[in-house]
Amino acid sequence: MDFEHVLVVGAGQMGGGIAQVVAASGRRVSLHDPYPGAVERGLAGIRESLERLGADVDGTLARITVVDDLVAADLLIEAIVEDGAAKEDIFRRADAALPPDAILASNTSSIPITSLAAVIGRPDRVIGMHFFNPAPVLQLVEVIRGLDTSDETAAAIVALARDLGKTPAEANDFPGFVSNRILMPFINEAAYALLEGVAEAEAIDTIARLGFAHPMGPLALADLIGLDTCVAIMDVLHAGLGDQKYAPCPLLRQHVQAGRLGRKSGRGFYTYA
Ligand X SMILES: NC(=O)c1ccc[n+]([C@@H]2O[C@H](COP(=O)([O-])OP(=O)(O)OC[C@H]3O[C@@H](n4cnc5c(N)ncnc54)[C@H](O)[C@@H]3O)[C@@H](O)[C@H]2O)c1
As a whole number of angstroms, the distance between CA 144 and CA 217 comes to: 26
Q: Which residues contact 93 (CB under 8 A, 6 or more apart)?
A: 70
When asked if residue 12 is in the footprint of ligand X (CB under 6 A), the reply is yes
Q: Which residues contact 251 (CB under 8 A, 6 or more apart)?
A: 191, 192, 194, 195
Mark the segment that binds ligand X (CB under 6 A) among 49-57, 121-129, 130-138, 188-196.
Answer: 130-138
Edge-first strand listing for the sheet containing 167-172? 64-66, 28-32, 5-9, 75-78, 103-106, 126-131, 140-145, 167-172
When asked if residue 264 is in the footprint of ligand X (CB under 6 A), the reply is yes
Catalytic choice (107, 110, 179, 180): 180
Is 107 considered catalytic here? no
When asked if residue 223 is in the footprint of ligand X (CB under 6 A), the reply is no
Q: Which amino acid, residue 201?
A: A
When asked if residue 80 is in the footprint of ligand X (CB under 6 A), the reply is yes
**Residue 267 forms beta bridges with which residues?**
262, 271
Question: What does the per-residue mask of binding to ligand X show for 82-111, with x meaning CB under 6 A?
Answer: x---x---x----------------xxx--
Mark the segment that binds ligand X (CB under 6 A) among 61-69, 77-85, 116-124, 181-189.
Answer: 77-85
In this structure, the chain runs to a length of 273
Is residue 78 within 8 Å of 91, Cβ to Cβ?
A: yes
Q: What is the nearest approach in angstroms of ligand X to the Cβ of residue 80? A: 4
Shorter beta-carbon distance to ligand X: residue 150 or 265: 265
Is 180 considered catalytic here? yes
Angle, in degrees to the nearest 10, between helices 218-225 and 227-241: 100
Mark the segment that binds ligand X (CB under 6 A) among 9-17, 20-28, 56-64, 198-206.
Answer: 9-17
Shorter beta-carbon distance to ligand X: residue 131 or 246: 131
Q: Could you list the active site residues?
A: 109, 130, 142, 180
Interface residues with ligand X (CB under 6 A)? Answer: 9-15, 33-35, 38, 79-82, 86, 90, 107-109, 130-133, 225-226, 229, 264
